[in-house]
Each structure stands twice: as structure tokens, then as C-alpha cells.
């Protein structure tokens, strides 16, 4: 699901929680609309100044369930908002990485096997690292696993290599 839709739905659930709470406070707790909305917002956002409270038994029973659900809804909305900001930042970094010119320093850093040139795979790995999508540690672990499978050090994994490794 797209992040904007997730944020919209989460904020919609928060507004719905505030609305339901306001209705219950208005009809069950006999508060006026302003106080009902105020207490509902203060409760859902967990601010709770303590100047208002649920007083009736039905109101308190409702609040026990409603506050659990609505607090989780607010937390999820903030999680999705934070996720949207992080995703936007990642997209901005990726765009910058993919549109900048390669430098001599980049060539030297991307040349994993130090042969004086970079292959397509070295270039891809370097750009992924630069974007923060893969870490050096992950690449080294993958290379170590490849080396174990490439039993004859040909730089390729063949069917006989796999068969030897599995026995």
C-alpha cells in the first residue's frame, strides 16, 4: 500500500476515534460539544491535562476500550508519518546518487578487486552502498558465501561446484 494512502487512512482512523469519543462524551457524559471534543482530543493524543474525566460507569467502560484502540491508532499514524519522511529522504538521496557524475575517488572506491576498472556489478554494488541500501558488511558476507560455493576459484558457481559443496 502506498505510504500516502497509509498516512491518510491512519489519520482518518484518528479523526474517527476523536469523533466517536466526542459523541460518547456528549451523550453519555452530558458534556457540551466543545468540552466533548476537547476531552476526546486530549485523551486520544494522551495529553490528558486532568481537568476533565469520564465520570459515569458506562463512560468509563467505554473509555477503557476506546483509549486503548485510539492511542494505538495515533501511534500508528505517527509511525506512518515518520515512515513517509524517511522514504522521502531515501528517494532524495537515491536521486542525488544516480544523477551525479562519477569521480576518480568513486572509481577507486568501487573497484572491489583492484584491477584498475569497475565492472557493471562493481558499479551497481557501489551505487547501492552509496544510497544506503546495502552495507559493506552485507557485501562481505555475500562474497564469503560465494567463495565457499566457488570451490575451484573460477569466479563462477557451476553445477559441479554446488554438487561438491552439498556433499
List, run by run, the mean pLDDT of 10-residue segments along the chain (167 residues): 83 93 94 93 82 86 93 90 91 92 91 90 93 91 89 85 77
Per-residue confidence (pLDDT) for residue 135, from 0 to 100: 93
Q: Write down the pTM of the prediction.
A: 0.64
Handedness of CA 32, 35, 38, 44 (dihedral sign): negative
Per-residue confidence (pLDDT) for residue 1, from 0 to 100: 61
Residue in the structure block whose three cell numbers are 498516512 = 7
Instruction: Show the domain range for 24.
Output: 3-90
- The structural domain count of the chain equals 2
User: Based on the domain organization, do 14 and 83 belong to the same domain?
Assistant: yes
Which of 36, 64, 90 corresponds to the end of one domain?
A: 90
- Least Cα distance to 41 among 19, 62, 68 occurs for 19
Phi, psi of 128 (to 5 degrees): -65, -40
C-alpha cell at 27: 451523550
Residue 142 lies in a domain: yes
Per-residue confidence (pLDDT) for residue 138, from 0 to 100: 93
Residues with Cβ within 8 Å of 48's Cβ and at least 6 positions away in sequence, in order, are 42
Residue 30 lies in a domain: yes
Residues with Cβ within 8 Å of 66's Cβ and at least 6 positions away in sequence, in order, are 17, 20, 21, 24
Tally the residues of the chain.
167
User: Based on the domain organization, do 69 and 124 belong to the same domain?
Assistant: no
Cα 128 to Cα 24: distance, rounded to the nearest angstrom: 52
Phi, psi of 145 (to 5 degrees): -65, -40
User: Based on the domain organization, do 7 and 83 belong to the same domain?
Assistant: yes
Amino acid at each position: 500500500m502506498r505510504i500516502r494512502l497509509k498516512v491518510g487512512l491512519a489519520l482518518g482512523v484518528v479523526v474517527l476515534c476523536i469523533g466517536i469519543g466526542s459523541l460518547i462524551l456528549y451523550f453519555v457524559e452530558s458534556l457540551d460539544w466543545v468540552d466533548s471534543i476537547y476531552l476526546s482530543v486530549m485523551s486520544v493524543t494522551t495529553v490528558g491535562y486532568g481537568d476533565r474525566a469520564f465520570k459515569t460507569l458506562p463512560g468509563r467502560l467505554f473509555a477503557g476500550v476506546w483509549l486503548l484502540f485510539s492511542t494505538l491508532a495515533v501511534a500508528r499514524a505517527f509511525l506512518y508519518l515518520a515512515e513517509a519522511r524517511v522514504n522521502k529522504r531515501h528517494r532524495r538521496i537515491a536521486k542525488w546518487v544516480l544523477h551525479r557524475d562519477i569521480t576518480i575517488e568513486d572509481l577507486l572506491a568501487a573497484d572491489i578487486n583492484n584491477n584498475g576498472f569497475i565492472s557493471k556489478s562493481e558499479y551497481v554494488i557501489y551505487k547501492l552502498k552509496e544510497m544506503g541500501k546495502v552495507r559493506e558488511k552485507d557485501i562481505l558476507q555475500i562474497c564469503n558465501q560465494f567463495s565457499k560455493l566457488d570451490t575451484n576459484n573460477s569466479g563462477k558457481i557451476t553445477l559441479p561446484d554446488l554438487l561438491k559443496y552439498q556433499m
